[in-house]
Amino acid sequence: MKELTRKEEQILLAIQHLRCDAYLITIREQIHKFTGTYFSVGTIFAPLSRLEMNGFVTSYYQKERRFASKKPIKFYRLTEKGVRALEDLRKLNALMWRGICLAVEE
């Protein structure tokens, strides 16, 4: 499996949380909600494009009535490969954290 960056992991998790409402702005807001870090659109767009190019997400355009824009909005969803990557990351992190005690030794 290709190793994902932390930002790519956060983007995949945001898309999974958002389900049918995952587009660039909501993905950025979801990451901000969970991390407290506010990234620029460009900071999200570059890794999101890589994730799509590498088959972790797929995109589709949809006209949204709730937006004033006449242009269709590009939405994202996880592919099977993206879901597997998140599951692999979850298992790996659980394994690596097993037995860790964060108490300060004196």
Task: For residue 46, give the nearest of 60, 62, 64, 27 by alpha carbon.
Answer: 27
Structural tokens at position 49: 């494009």
- In this structure, are residues 87 and 94 in contact, taking their beta carbons and an 8 Å threshold? no
Task: For residue 51, give the nearest of 90, 83, 25, 19 by alpha carbon.
Answer: 83
Q: Which fold has domain 6-97?
A: Arc Repressor Mutant, subunit A (1.10.10)
Report pLDDT for 63: 81
CA dist 95 and 29 (Å) reads 30
Digit-coded pLDDT (tens) for 9-64: 999 999 999 999 999 999 999 999 999 999 999 999 999 999 999 999 999 998 87
Q: What is the pTM of this model?
A: 0.86
Structural tokens at position 45: 């767009």
Domain ranges of the chain: 6-97
Report pLDDT for 1: 55
CA dist 47 and 26 (Å) reads 15
